[in-house]
A and B are shown apart, each in its own frame.
Chain A
Amino acid sequence: MNDHEIFINMINDNLNEMGDTIDCLYTTSNSCVKNKLLNRLRKNMSNIAMLTQGLRNGASMNNPQPSADRLFTAEELSRYNGKDGNPAYVAVNGIVYDVTNSAAWGGATHFGLTAGTDVTSQFASCHAGQPILSKLKVVGKMTG
């Protein structure tokens, strides 16, 4: 199953859950339960917003052609370490991604990795099969 199908399935799951929640809302008069159900609806909405954003990004990222044409050498990439005004970029499988505002990259570091580097092997060992890259903005690709 590719990222696109995973996103669609997750959106459908959320929509189904919202349908069930609305059914429950019709039957309850308890204000506490009502609040919980409304919170659940909000959570579903937020999930769908995130998933649709992921789909938008994924449209250009799931194929091997990055949306940005910029080429990076390893030395150029190393400048984008997320410090002193430089954005934080990392390379995975030849594609360069922007992680400047990616939550998991606090302080432009992630589990001992620093931005400005090629993290292909580490990504493969920890996140294989997870729909992560499609949520990141592509800024170019590596040369060679």
Chain B
Amino acid sequence: MNQTFNSCPNFTTRLETASALVHKAIDAVRQKNIPKRNLIWLELTGCSGNIISLLDGANPDFKSLASQMVNFIYDNSLMAAEGEAAMERLFGMTGGDYILAVEGAVSTKDNGLYNIIGRWKGQPVTAYETIKKFGEQASYVIAVGTCASDGGISAARPNPAECVGIQSLLDKKVIKLPGCPCHPDWFMGTLAYLMLFGEPELDSRQRPLMFYSTLIHDICPRRPYFDQGIFASKLGEKTCMFKLGCRGPVTRVDCPIRKWNDRVNWPIGDDSPCIGCAMFGFPDKMEPFISFDTT
């Protein structure tokens, strides 16, 4: 399957989107045509899967991003500083110019008490107050992953901590990059575009069209099976998994082109139906993830 689209310009050009933008941004920073912007990455009520995913980026990779494109000011998983010293880096940006990337939803119950992200001057700091403080002041806010975008798994039923996506707490427009996790290309390409040209063209759900314009179903390598009515009845079969409950036909993103883990594979390529992780309503509205005995 991996060879099928190698010669198709629709696929080859899309594969280069993120790397072209990042290299252009790095060149522009090096030549001092644009400033090297500050980047704050907040991990709120989530699993930290998006920062792990970002580290897995390949052409462009994380090292290029952190060393040549932006000043990576804060991320609690990656920075050397810890405790108050780490929080000093974050709070030191108050009033400054920065782009804010956020992963994880925001727990709102009891004023956000159920997610403390650090201590500042001896007081606990909640995710809730952090996003309020740093979100409104940011030059741009990027929701990285499904939880930050729409609540996602953190806000799944019964949602005991009353988690929400960050847009519902901010008046400022949030650029959403849903996906569980967000693909490194989606984030790095969007960040580079922001630095070079400002806000990219977004769809009605605030997702950049350069990555989120096409239904998975429309570019799925197994689409011919769907058109011929040849359906898998159990996992492991190499045909269309529509009858197993595949969400590719309702999910807009370019996984079939970009793939994961250094472009090795993606769920459908490994005989697992798409579960719609990059679509609003995930996971509740995308369940059941697998259905058998469908007519």
Contact = CB atoms under 8 A, between A and B. Distances in A.
B281 A111 contact: yes
Interface in B268-295: 273, 281, 284-288, 290-291, 293-295
Contact of B295 (A39, A84, A104, A112): A84
Contact of A112 (B9, B241, B244, B287): B287
A101 B281 contact: no
A103 interface: yes
B226 interface: yes
Nearest to A103: B249
Given A32-B9, A82-B294, A112 B250 contact: no
Interface residues of A, number: 22
A107 B250 contact: no
A117 interface: no
A86 interface: yes
Given A82-B295, A84-B295, A106 B249 contact: yes
A101 B229 contact: yes
Chain B interface residue bracket vs A: 20 to 34
A100 B231 CA distance: 13
Contacts of A104: 249-250
Contacts of B284: 112
B142 to A, nearest CB: 25
B24 interface: no
B206 to A, nearest CB: 17
A87 B295 CA distance: 6
A85 interface: yes
Interface in A86-131: 86-88, 100-101, 103-104, 106-112
Most A CB contacts (10 A, CB to CB) among B10, B285, B295 go to B295
B9 A106 contact: no
A100 B245 CA distance: 12
Contact of A106 (B245, B281, B285): B245
Contacts of B244: 106-107
Interface string B1-32: 00000001110000000000000000000000
B99 interface: no
A88 B293 CA distance: 12
Interface of B: 8-10, 217, 226, 229, 241-250, 273, 281, 284-288, 290-291, 293-295
Interface of A: 32, 35-36, 39, 82-88, 100-101, 103-104, 106-112
17 contacts: A35-B9, A82-B294, A82-B295, A87-B295, A88-B294, A100-B295, A103-B226, A103-B249, A104-B250, A106-B241, A106-B242, A106-B291, A107-B246, A107-B290, A107-B294, A112-B284, A112-B286
